[in-house]
Amino acid sequence: MRKIVLLLLLFPFTLAAQSDSITVIPPGGIQDSVPETSIILKDNDLIFQKVYMTALNKDDLASKLKLFLPGIKSFQLADATNQTAYQLRGRLSSYFINFRKSQNNNYGIAEFLFHPLNADVLIQIKDGKYRVTVFNMVVKDYYDRTDTVKYKFDLSIESFMAKDKRSKISTRGHDIKAAKFINSELINSFDINSKTRIKEDF
């Protein structure tokens, strides 16, 4: 009899545990991604995250990145108090995605791409590689028209590209295309081997 009572008392807890394991997203887990890109949905936030490989050791790589990063359009390194030897922080401000370089017209382009983007950037450096994470992406001055009045808003990129309470990335054609434009632009911008941008007078 005691065993039956004990089982009845524990039964609700086992149900709760089963429910949590299904509905709760593990901390730091990747929920969704756009195939063939470095765009992922992590903790309900849409981020760009890519690891770049190099032959340099972390000291030489850190030095080269500090020379290279100021040449990226609309990017600024944070002040020295927010940096460490192998972890650099910065910010993209009023950054426009250049979708026109691979698009002959504006047909099928997500409207938010016509507006500037602000975002935080974290660069982590190890021997032979560095990882760039672009997060807190916000579309600046997006506007809704009401008759002749424009109302401007700053909206997170998830407002446009995520669905189901920001648990999945939208699969609509223009959203996937937008993700690929953003991915292509950011990959090239932060690749130290893509262009010669090192300023000798830095």
Residue 199 pLDDT > 80, yes or no?
no
Residue 197 pLDDT > 50, yes or no?
no
What phi-psi label fits residue 108: left (phi over 0), alpha (psi between -120 and 50 degrees) or beta? left
Tokens of 1: 């009899």
**Residues in CB range of 53: below 8 A, 6 or more apart:** 128, 129
pLDDT of residue 188: 92
- Supply the pTM of this predicted model: 0.76
Query: 162, 189, 178, 176: which is closest to 95 by C-alpha?
Result: 189
Tokens of 136: 């807190």
pLDDT of residue 106: 59
- Answer whether 177's CB lies under 8 Å from 110's CB: yes
Burial 4-41 (b: 16+ CB within 10 A, else e): eeeeeeeeeeeeeeeeeeeeeeeeeeebbbbeebbbbb
pLDDT tens-digit series, residues 118-139: 999 999 999 999 999 999 999 9
33 pairs with which residues across the strands?
Answer: 40
Angle at the Cα of 75 from the Cα atoms of 59 and 139, rounded to 5 degrees = 135
pLDDT tens-digit series, residues 55-104: 999 999 999 999 999 999 999 998 877 788 899 999 999 999 887 766 55
